[in-house]
Structure 1
Amino acid sequence: MTPVSETPATPTVAKSAGSRRISRELVLRALYQWQLNDSSLAVLVAQAEAADIHGRANVAHFEALLAGVLKHVAELDEALAPMLDREIAALSPIEHGVLLLGCYELIYQPDVPYRVVLNEAVDLTKRYGGTDGHKYINGVLDKLAHAVRQAEVGAGRSAR
């Protein structure tokens, strides 16, 4: 797969990196709800607006990420499947949500460094996932980064 940027990774509203982190957290919460209830994008956005952290989020970033993930779920699952040691259906909703978000950013937002994608995914999993789930998420997304961002990963290794 070739990374293709279809939604702006950096919305026109300038906000801090912390607001982008909060946006990712809102996306994870929304994806969790989506997996349990199959809610529409509009319902998920409305639920996020009621969240305690919504005011500190970069809303444009949140909406772009969530819409992008939901639009490409089948493709993202297809990209993730060979990287997994189990069926996607066996993943917890948190693991699946974090992997969908990380996969989307790796493929569709090449201006976000792959290490940032991995670190954000690990942090979300440490906060919301199982005890050692972050290790699994890191391993899966690292394999995916090697597959879809070969030049960036290779350049990072040579710089060490």
Structure 2
Amino acid sequence: MGTRRLSREQALQALFYMDMHRDPGEDPVGSFCNSFTEENPAEPFFHRLVCGVQENRETIDTVIEQFSSNWKLSRMSCVDRNVLRIAAFELLFCADIPPKVSINEAIDVGKRFGTEESGAFINGILDSLRIAIEENQVSCVPKATGQSS
């Protein structure tokens, strides 16, 4: 498994934990990273994803709800919701990652950790978002936030 895939899977796990606990503690990301005893080559991209999602969560959640017909974020499974947040962050804030890569990775991670329907659900929302970005209906935000690798 590549380090970026590992980073995405670990980011999903960390965001899932924070989403499920109202008060995940003072430094949930640090606690998550400290649970690994070996050096983690996925850590820089992991931090980029988790911090980027946290810092831009309101924007990301608004965009996801805009493209998820009849689905409020609160009704989505926690896995699907956080896979979508990671991929939407990549699509909106990470110009260095091709959109199709972000979408394919999200589908694969969703299939691995979600339900049988997760892949199709995630694909539908993210592909609609990708098309809207390409047609300049949604603007990508070139921010320095979350960009360090």
Gaps of 5+ in 1: 1-16, 152-160
TM-score (norm 2): 0.82
Task: Work out which of the residue numbers 97, 105, 115 in structure 2 matches 1:112.
Answer: 97
Indicate the larger mover: 93-102 or 30-39: 30-39
Gaps of 5+ in 2: 137-149
The corresponding residue for 2:84 is: 99
Alignment of 1:1-160 (within 5 A): 18-38=2-22, 39=24, 42-51=27-36, 55-85=39-69, 86-150=71-135
Contact 1:106 1:114 in 2 (8 A): yes
C-alpha distance in structure 1 between counterparts of 2:128 and 2:12, whole Å = 21
Shift of 1:45: 3.0
The corresponding residue for 1:12 is: none
Shift of 1:41: 7.4
C-alpha distance in structure 2 between counterparts of 1:123 and 1:61, whole Å = 18
Letter in 1 for 2:132: A
1:102-147 Cα distance to aligned partner (Å, 9 max, x none): 0000000011001100110001011000111110101100000111
C-alpha distance in structure 2 between counterparts of 1:149 and 1:109, whole Å = 14
Moved segments of 4+, more than 6 Å:
none
Shift of 1:88: 1.1
Indicate the larger mover: 81-90 or 121-130: 81-90
SS of match in other structure, 1:33: helix
Greater helix proportion: 1
C-alpha distance in structure 1 between counterparts of 2:26 and 2:11, whole Å = 11
Contact 2:18 2:28 in 1 (8 A): no
Query: How many residues align structurally?
Result: 134
Cα pair distance change 1:79/1:127, threshold 3 Å: same
SS of match in other structure, 1:112: coil
Letter in 2 for 1:68: G
C-alpha distance in structure 2 between counterparts of 1:83 and 1:96, whole Å = 13
Shift of 1:56: 4.8
Shift of 1:49: 3.4
Letter in 2 for 1:84: S
SS of match in other structure, 1:142: helix
C-alpha distance in structure 2 between counterparts of 1:25 and 1:73, whole Å = 18
